[in-house]
Structure 1
Amino acid sequence: MHIQLDFQNASTVETSAMPDERDLLSWLNAVFASQPATFTEPNICVRIVDEGESEELNSTYRGKHSPTNVLSFPADLPPGVDIELLGDLVICAQVVAREAEEQAKAPAAHWAHMVVHGCLHLLGYDHIEDDEADAMEALETKILQALDFPPPYEQ
């Protein structure tokens, strides 16, 4: 499998904890390896943004007037389009950094969690209902532990 990654870093924040394309591909590969579906060449865009863009998108698409850690925008392709375009992930650098510090998590572990979490949303997972949340959290934990990160929901 070969992931087609469109990596866009639109953030003005410079930090050593910011993932690079190699990190993102590693984390995304782990997500796809956990899936029963067969992908040959999934396409995904990961855009790292600052709080202003995150807040604008969160307000426009979710009606929430604050920046958020990750937003997932699944692709809605018309019938007959033969491309494995999954969609876009928009991750806010400042929110991820702040949450990692508040939760006493290694920044790389939290970045990986946001990428895994967002990608699972693109694949149709959700956490609105308790049973869905339990299943999604268990899968996130399994993927992150396979990447040698600690369980994301244990404090």
Structure 2
Amino acid sequence: MISKYSSSSKLEIDIQFASAAIKEKVSAIASQAAIKKWVKAAVGLNGLITLRFVNVAEGKKLNFSFRNKNYATNVLTFPYELSKQTLTADIIFCLPVIQKEASEQSKGMKAHLAHLIIHGCLHAQGLDHEGDKEAKKMEGKEVKLLKSLGFANPYAPI
């Protein structure tokens, strides 16, 4: 269930950084308050979401350990608990991969980061994009949420 953040929700959001340098880079893109606002827009449940921003080495290690893929990816989502009222998940963001994607796709870093945070939060709530039908549903939710936050459609042609 995905809904707008409700003030009655008790969602704890923990933001972690693999290093001071990554924290500095993320902070230059978006404040922790903005990041939490994006998460709350995508998650209308109680619980705990931990966002961790990592470097390529940690991103690659995690992707290999949990998905048997020997490269760093932009976002990894680890949902632990999901019910009608509660969500517990870790979401890992590999900052260098996200920066490279934003540059290659001619997207602003803040908009791309907001998109991937929304994307990871939707994965944590059970949405996927493996099949065309699932991808269309998930992308539609991403576009709607991002628009409500003042961001353009990330899937629109440039």
Tell me the distance in 2 between the aligned counterparts of 1:17 and 1:65: 29
Per residue, is there more helix in 1 or in 2? 2
* Aligned equivalent of 1:61: 66
Q: Secondary structure at the match of 1:42?
A: strand
| Percent sequence identity over aligned pairs | 40
* Aligned equivalent of 1:80: none
- Please say if residues 43 and 121 of structure 2, whose CA atoms lie closer than 8 Å, have aligned partners that are also in contact: no
**Which structure 2 residues correspond to residues 73-152 of structure 1 after superposition, within 5 A?**
73-76=78-81, 84-152=86-154
Q: Does residue 9 in structure 1 map to residue 25 in structure 2?
A: no
Structure 2 counterpart of 1:22, from 30, 33, 36: 33
- Please say if residues 9 and 48 of structure 1, whose CA atoms lie closer than 8 Å, have aligned partners that are also in contact: yes
Per residue, is there more strand in 1 or in 2? 2
Q: RMSD of the alignment, in Å?
A: 1.8
Q: Offset of 1:3 from its aligned partner?
A: 2.1
Q: Does residue 153 in structure 1 map to residue 158 in structure 2?
A: no
- Please say if residues 8 and 48 of structure 1, whose CA atoms lie closer than 8 Å, have aligned partners that are also in contact: yes
Give 5+ residue unaligned stretches, structure 1. Answer: 34-38, 78-82
Deviations 1:24-73 (A, max 9, x none): 2110111125xxxxx2x321000000000000011111111111100000
- Please say if residues 127 and 138 of structure 2, whose CA atoms lie closer than 8 Å, have aligned partners that are also in contact: yes
Give 5+ residue unaligned stretches, structure 2. Answer: 1-8
- Please say if residues 17 and 108 of structure 1, whose CA atoms lie closer than 8 Å, have aligned partners that are also in contact: no
Tell me the distance in 1 between the aligned counterparts of 2:128 and 2:111: 21
Give TM-score, length-normalised by structure 2.
Answer: 0.84
Tell me the distance in 2 between the aligned counterparts of 1:32 and 1:5: 11
Tell me the distance in 2 between the aligned counterparts of 1:42 and 1:20: 22
Structure 2 counterpart of 1:71, from 67, 72, 76: 76
* Aligned equivalent of 2:3: none
Report the number of matched residues.
Answer: 144
Tell me the distance in 1 between the aligned counterparts of 2:47 and 2:34: 17
